[in-house]
């Protein structure tokens, strides 16, 4: 079979409820695109029936490819695998839960034909998401933008189209704590965005609990910014400066003979406070070191257990 023009990457983690409604939407998309298309479903170690459902679908859809991970390696690893296996000249990522409407891909493809190399899907509205998620996402994208010195588009998730050149550039970055949104902004190229309304999840529950969301947010900030380290340093300076002044004041009071209170409380508070600052700063440094450790081990980003379908 000839190489497809478009590749669509979809990470799947315990998505048995949405898969049945996903296939017809994909089929419609594949027929609407102006050139050949392959769809890569990357099963990120699902523990439900998703792998069986996809394996069955392989027989009915010639454009479908199925890659199964040996265990759950996480959304970003699944996307990375997608970029590694995709053969198309334009590669689109989207979520399995139909929150990123497949129809928008047609619009992205038009912009790609116009010569853009990185096309972001930017969220207009976020239906069916909690106020908490909307607020945290809103503030996170803006904090990230002011901390990291790269021009990251706000409100753009992992729904995007990349040209082959951009994909190859992205693939040359093999860092382990990946924050693809940042990396995509970092590689540059001719970028533009397509606005879309983010739908609610078609079925099932979110596979991004708060724990995973926080981990991703942390990866984003720590791998693109050393501002937190600098803040730790400044905090250290401020606190030691204050301690120094307090020390001088204590001496003056003592020498002047005004020293009457036994002053245990202030001492205890000071010791606790400085201890707390120490621990925070050490923990912060530890976060960076643990990331360095991960990089040094240089383990593969994911392990593929099965690779089926497609050309």
List contacts with ligand UDP (CB under 6 A).
Answer: 11-13, 15, 44, 72, 74-75, 78, 95-97, 99, 206-208
- Considering the complex, what minimum distance in angstroms separates the CB of residue 201 from Mg ion? 5
Please, which residue, 79 or 167, has the CB nearer to ligand UDP?
Answer: 79
Angle, helices 50-60/19-32, rounded to nearest 10 degrees: 30
Please, which residue, 15 or 38, has the CB nearer to ligand UDP?
Answer: 15
- Considering the complex, what minimum distance in angstroms separates the CB of residue 206 from Mg ion? 6
Chosen from Mg ion, ligand UDP, none, partner binding at 78 (C-beta under 5 to 8 Å by type): ligand UDP
> What is the C-alpha separation between 269 and 6, in angstroms, rounded?
63
Strands 191-198 and 118-126: parallel
With contact defined as beta carbons under 8 Å apart, do 157 and 228 qualify? no
Query: With the CA atoms of 29, 33, 35 and 36 taken in that order, what torsion angle do they form, in degrees rounded to the nearest 10?
Result: 0
Total residues binding Mg ion (CB under 5 A): 3
DSSP helix/strand/coil, 194: strand
> What is the C-alpha separation between 203 and 47, in angstroms, rounded?
17
Please, which residue, 7 or 99, has the CB nearer to ligand UDP?
Answer: 99
Residues 149-168 that bind Mg ion (CB under 5 A): none
Please, which residue, 96 or 221, has the CB nearer to Mg ion?
Answer: 96
With contact defined as beta carbons under 8 Å apart, do 46 and 14 qualify? yes
- Considering the complex, what minimum distance in angstroms separates the CB of residue 46 from ligand UDP? 8
Chosen from ligand UDP, Mg ion, none, partner binding at 15 (C-beta under 5 to 8 Å by type): ligand UDP
């Amino acid at each position: 079979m000839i190489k497809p023009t478009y590749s669509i990457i979809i990470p799947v983690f315990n998505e048995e409820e949405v898969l049945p409604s996903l296939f017809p939407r994909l089929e419609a998309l594949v027929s609407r695109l102006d050139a050949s298309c392959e769809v890569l479903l990357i099963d990120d170690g699902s523990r439900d029936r998703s792998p069986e459902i996809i394996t069955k679908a392989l027989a009915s859809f010639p454009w479908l490819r199925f890659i199964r991970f040996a265990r759950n390696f996480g959304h970003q690893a699944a996307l990375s695998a997608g970029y590694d296996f995709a053969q198309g000249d334009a590669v689109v990522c989207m979520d399995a839960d139909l929150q990123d409407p497949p129809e928008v891909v047609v619009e992205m493809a038009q912009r790609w034909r116009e010569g853009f190399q990185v096309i972001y899907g930017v969220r207009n509205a976020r239906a069916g998401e909690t106020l908490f998620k909307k607020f945290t996402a809103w503030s996170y994208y803006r904090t990230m933008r002011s901390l990291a010195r790269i021009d990251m588009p706000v409100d753009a998730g992992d729904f995007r189209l990349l040209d082959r050149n951009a994909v190859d550039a992205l693939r040359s970055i093999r860092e382990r704590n990946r924050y693809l949104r940042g990396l995509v902004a970092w590689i540059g190229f001719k970028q533009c965005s397509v606005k879309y309304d983010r739908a609610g999840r078609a079925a099932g529950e979110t596979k991004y609990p708060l724990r995973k969301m926080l981990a991703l947010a942390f990866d984003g900030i720590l791998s693109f910014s050393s501002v937190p380290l600098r803040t730790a340093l400044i905090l250290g300076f401020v606190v030691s400066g204050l301690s120094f002044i307090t020390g001088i004041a204590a001496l003056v009071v003592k020498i002047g003979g005004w020293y009457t209170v036994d002053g245990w409380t202030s001492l205890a508070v000071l010791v606790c406070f400085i201890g707390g600052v120490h621990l925070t700063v050490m923990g912060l440094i530890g976060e960076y070191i643990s990331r360095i450790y991960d990089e040094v081990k240089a383990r593969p980003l994911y392990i593929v257990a099965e690779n089926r379908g497609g050309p």
